[in-house]
Amino acid sequence: MPLATNDVRRFADLDDTDRAILSELAADGRLPNNALAERVGVAPSTCLTRTRALRERGAIRGFHAEVDPAAVGLPLQALVSVRLTAHERAAVDAFRARSVRLPGVVAVFHVAGAEDYVLHVRAASADALRDFVLDHLAVDPAVQHTQTSLIFEQARGMG
C-alpha cells in the first residue's frame, strides 16, 4: 500500500541541504536559485538539481502568489464545518472530490472531531456566502450538518 501524502516516512531520506532548501523556499518562494544556493551553501547547479528533485517527489507542492481576497472581489472569508451523513471511504472520498471544485473554495481540510471537513471559502458578500452554503452544501445528501464561522482577520504563521 502506498504511503499517505502526510506520512513523514516519504521524506525520511532528506538531508540537511534538502531541508535547508525547503526552509528557505517556505520563507520566500520567489528566492532566485543563485541566492538560494548561496544561503544553503551549495553550487547553483546543485541547488537547481535538488530543487527540481524536491518538486518531483512532492516535497515542494508548488509556488503561488498570496493575493488579497478583496482585490479579486472576494473580501468575505469563512470556515464552513461539514458533518457527513455516512463515513464509508467512498462517501468521504466523493465529498472531498466534489468540495475542492466548488466555487470560492480555497482549501478543504479533512479533520478529526465532531465535524468531518472544514472548507475555507471566499465570497463576495454575506448573501453570496449564504447562497454557497444553501446551493452547494445544504442540498447535498452526503451532508448532515454545516456550521459557518466568519473570518475577521487572517495572519500567516511562520510554519
C-alpha torsion sign, points 30, 35, 40, 42 = positive
As given in the structure block, the three cell numbers for residue 153 are 482577520
Q: How far are the Cα atoms of 36, 82, 95, 137, 159 from residue 26, in angstroms, in the given order?
A: 12, 30, 30, 33, 8
Alpha-helical regions (H) of the chain: 16-27, 33-40, 44-56, 89-99, 126-132
CA end-to-end span of the chain, whole Å?
Answer: 30
Residues, the chain: 159
Burial 60-83 (b: 16+ CB within 10 A, else e): beeeeeeeebeeeebebbbebbbe
Instruction: Give the residue with greater pLDDT, 6 vs 143.
Output: 143
Global pTM reads 0.78
- Give residue-wise pLDDT tens across range 97-110: 999 999 999 999 99
What is the longest distance spanned by two Cα atoms in the chain?
Answer: 56
| Average pLDDT score, the chain | 92
- What is the DSSP code string of 120-131? EEEESSHHHHHH
Contact assessment for residue 106 and residue 121, using Cβ atoms and an 8 Å cutoff:
yes
Using the predicted structure, report yes or no on whether residue 37 has a pLDDT greater than 80. yes
Residue range 60-74: mean pLDDT, rounded:
89
- Residue 67 confidence (pLDDT): 86
Residue 94 has pLDDT above 90, yes or no: yes
What is the phi/psi pair of residue 15, to 5°?
Answer: -100, -175
- Answer whether residue 122 shows pLDDT above 50: yes
- What whole-number percentage of the chain has pLDDT above 70? 94
Output the pLDDT for position 63.
Answer: 85
